Amino acid sequence: MTVTAAQSPPPGEPGPGTGPGRQDHARPPAPSTTGTVTTTPPATTLPAPRSTLGPAAPSESRRNLSLLRATDVYAMLGAGAAALAVTLVIYERLLPFNGTLGFVVIAAVLFLGTYALLVSFDEDGPAVRDRVAAGIIRGIGLVMLASLVFAVVYTFYEGREALPHLNFYTQSMSDAGPVEPLSVGGILHAVVGTLWQIGIALALCIPVGLICAVFLNEVPGPFSRFVRTIVEAMTALPSIVAGLFIYATFILGLGFERSGLAAALAISVMMLPIIIRAADVVIRLVPGTLREASYALGTSRWRTVWHVVLPTSRSGLTTAVILGTARGIGETSPVLLTAGFTAEMNTNPFEGPMVSLPLATFELVKSPEPTYIARGFGTGSVLLVLVLILFVIARVIGGRGPGQLTRRQEHRRVRASRRDARRFAARATAGQPSDRSAPMSSAPTSSAPTSPAPTRSTP
């Protein structure tokens, strides 16, 4: 049998893999051998130049994944310029309008209409409605942000005369009359009263609120639905009603006097439904698979809540406490009804009137004296800073996610691991025999008694 491999082409004819623009790298002809199987060595073929393949194919354009396009920017700028120009013409030439609020409202309406018209040149109906809705939402967000910035900046600006004085933070208003300069008197009594009242309120609301939120989620039933309904209704409770409730029950009914404790109870009535409602929503977001895994390991419901549910939702629970604190720390009417007003320093929350920062701001701003008004705005500025400090502390304490440890906790865990390793090593060393036994020989031992080996005596 004769098997021949691929024959080399005749002289003068191009072989496979050759041609214009291609080179054959040392491809010798395969000789024909009788009785043996020969193979052709592999050859490397270079691609043909682009000039020999005809005109180049058009390359694909890169797709722009940005949500904001140049046409959108041009449409917003053009709509804004047109709205301002038309509003100025309406205010100055056509109609006898005046006022900043009306100008802003008319300009906003004209902006939305012009923006929708410009977008409709390039987009269809659903896209136009989407852009207009997005513009309305962003406009509302900008209005809210501008209002917040204006309130904060205006408060600090009006209180700029009282804030630089050191006595403003270290003295009370007991020696400062209406005509006294800003170098006399301060708000230390209001700061102490606020800290006492909000501290007592948090001590009451945090455990009760978290326990109630856990009850609403972990013990479902008709009673839990009833409690949830009551909590949702209490979130809209007016603050003056909470103050009247504590005044009627705690002061008139039980016979206690006006004090910081009564004000703290009134503040707790306002804070408790906020904390319960927010914590309920946060705990409801914990995946049910985590609870099922804990129950599968044989743990009880209490240990599952303590070691799984609460650590997982710690950041959200901190946010719930922050929301409740923001609601309670700025209340004025409940404190006025239950704690009264005083210009003296009172560090005992169980007896005597005690003033807070919001109430001090309210009373100082009512005065027609410029120094009292400056002190009132300065008190409001201090209240803003105090709320910010409390928020930062709460976020630092509870802002870590589940399983995240602080540096001190990691160091403590490392030291505990080292102690465990040393204890295990000592236990393993104590379990070993002190002297090693001689190896057992395989030869049979004799039952005859053996004499002890002679000992050598030393001179």
d(CA 434, CA 33): 81
Range list of H helices, 309-369: 310-312, 314-329, 333-338, 357-366
Buried b / exposed e along 253-265 (16+ C-beta atoms within 10 A): eeebebbbbbbbb
d(CA 318, CA 320): 5
Q: Say if CB 91 and CB 97 are below 8 A apart.
A: yes
For residue 88, CA distances in Å to 76, 106, 108, 110, 390 come to 18, 10, 13, 12, 46
SS3 (DSSP) at 442: coil
pLDDT tens digits, the chain, 459 residues: what are they? 444 444 445 554 544 444 444 444 445 555 544 555 556 666 667 666 555 555 555 556 665 555 667 787 888 899 999 999 999 998 888 888 788 888 888 899 999 999 999 888 888 888 888 888 988 898 899 889 999 999 999 999 998 988 998 988 888 888 787 778 888 888 999 999 999 999 999 999 999 999 999 998 888 788 888 888 898 888 888 889 989 999 999 999 888 889 999 999 999 999 999 999 999 999 988 888 888 898 898 888 888 888 888 888 888 888 888 888 888 888 888 898 899 888 888 888 888 899 999 999 998 898 888 888 999 999 999 999 988 888 888 777 766 655 566 778 788 888 989 998 998 888 888 876 554 444 444 444 444 444 444 444 443
pTM for this one?
0.65
User: Partners of 22 in the beta sheet?
Assistant: 19
d(CA 341, CA 384): 21
Q: Say if CB 166 and CB 185 are below 8 A apart.
A: no
